[in-house]
Amino acid sequence: MRSRNSAFDWSQAQAFLATAETGSFSGAAERLGLSQPTVGRHVAALESDLGLLLFDRVGKSLTINDKGLALLTHVKAMKEAADLVSLSALGQDQRVAGPVSVTASDAFCAYLLPPIIERIRLAYPEIQVEIVSSNDVQDLRRREADIAIRNVQPKHPDLYAKRVRTTKAYLYGASSYLDVIGRPATLEDISDRTTFIGDATGRVFQMLSAMNGAITSKQFSIISNSGVALWELVKRGQGLAVMFEDLAEITPEVEAVLQNEVFADVPVWLVTHGELKTSARIRAIFDILSEELTATTLDG
């Protein structure tokens, strides 16, 4: 065994942190881009070096123990410091070349982002754009993405956010579906024949049932955590769903219903880490995204 005063192996610490946060070697391996056995070896080596067991092992499951929790606080601080060093270095990079990652919801990435990427590729052919399609909020402070397109304003002081526009969300259905069920003039016209396509959070059902108590959860016969899947189902006439006006405008086979009753204002924020504002390539992509999203503002 090496001396406990020997150099600390950061790769082992990263494996420990990822395992603690994901709860498994397989989850840590996916996060770190390593194989599961490699992560297991790193964690075992760290335990050996420290002379401590950091996880309780019961069968194939792992549970971090008190010793692991005590170490976790320090390793998290190390990770935050390492991220800041990386961000600071990237912020000084003045080359308009290299990788830039942009994260947004899957529907935005699939339907609205491609024409903006075309402009980016024409303007900056040496920039490699990575699209991170996710409906979860990515952690920009951990460099899970360089730029995020979000519908909520981030509160952390390390993040720089610019509100580029406000769009609206309405209730939409395929014209072919509305030809069958009719076009309701008010929420009271919604019958039990109407099918809704809901989001995994249940927010749409909560909103509609609060407005019309006759709408039941049984009418939400399709639930999806994917905006792309939801929209494709709407286009195929499988039910009504709430969606952004931007997307509906480029989908001729759908139409809005009950626009005076079912609507919401949806802000669009561009977000990056404060350290990245001085990176030439990230600033260039941020500016194009800002111009493109602002140019399509519908509310002036």
- Around Cβ 116, how many Cβ atoms within 10 Å? 19
pLDDT along the chain (300 residues), means of 10: 54 85 85 85 86 80 84 79 60 70 92 94 92 71 77 83 92 95 89 88 86 85 92 96 94 94 91 75 91 66
Q: Are 225 and 135 in contact (CB under 8 A)?
A: yes
Instruction: Tell me the residue length of the chain.
Output: 300
User: Which pair of tokens denotes residue 39?
Assistant: 């992560």
Domain 10-91 matches domain 96-300 at the CATH topology level: no
User: Which pair of tokens denotes residue 63?
Assistant: 């549970």
> How far, in Å, CA of 34 to CA of 25, rounded?
10
Half-sphere exposure of 12 (CA within 13 A, CB side): 15
- Around Cβ 115, how many Cβ atoms within 10 Å? 10
pLDDT of residue 111: 94
Residue type, position 242, single letter: V
pLDDT of residue 293: 92
pLDDT of residue 200: 84
Spell out the domain ranges in the chain.
Answer: 10-91, 96-300
Q: Helix/strand/coil (H, E, C) string of the chain? A: CCCCCCCCCHHHHHHHHHHHHHCCHHHHHHHHCCCHHHHHHHHHHHHHHHCCCCEEEECCEEEECHHHHHHHHHHHHHHHHHHHHHHHHHHCCCCCCEEEEEEECHHHHHHHCHHHHHHHHHHCCCEEEEEEECCCCCCHHHCCCCEEEECCCCCCCCEEEEEEEEEEEEEEEEHHHHHHHCCCCCHHHCCCCCCEEEECCCHHHHHHHHHCCCCCHHHCCEEECCHHHHHHHHHCCCCEEEEEHHHHHCCCCEEEECCCCCEEEEEEEEEEEHHHHHCHHHHHHHHHHHHHHHHCCCCC
Q: Which residues of 204-238 are buried (b: 16+ CB within 10 A; e: fewer)?
A: bbeebbeeeeebeeebbeebbebbbebbebbbebb
pLDDT of residue 94: 58
User: Which pair of tokens denotes residue 298?
Assistant: 């519908």
Half-sphere exposure of 241 (CA within 13 A, CB side): 31
- pTM for this one? 0.66
pLDDT of residue 187: 86
pLDDT of residue 4: 46
10-91 maps to CATH 1.10.10.10? yes
Under CATH, which architecture does the 96-300 domain have?
A: 3-Layer(aba) Sandwich (3.40)
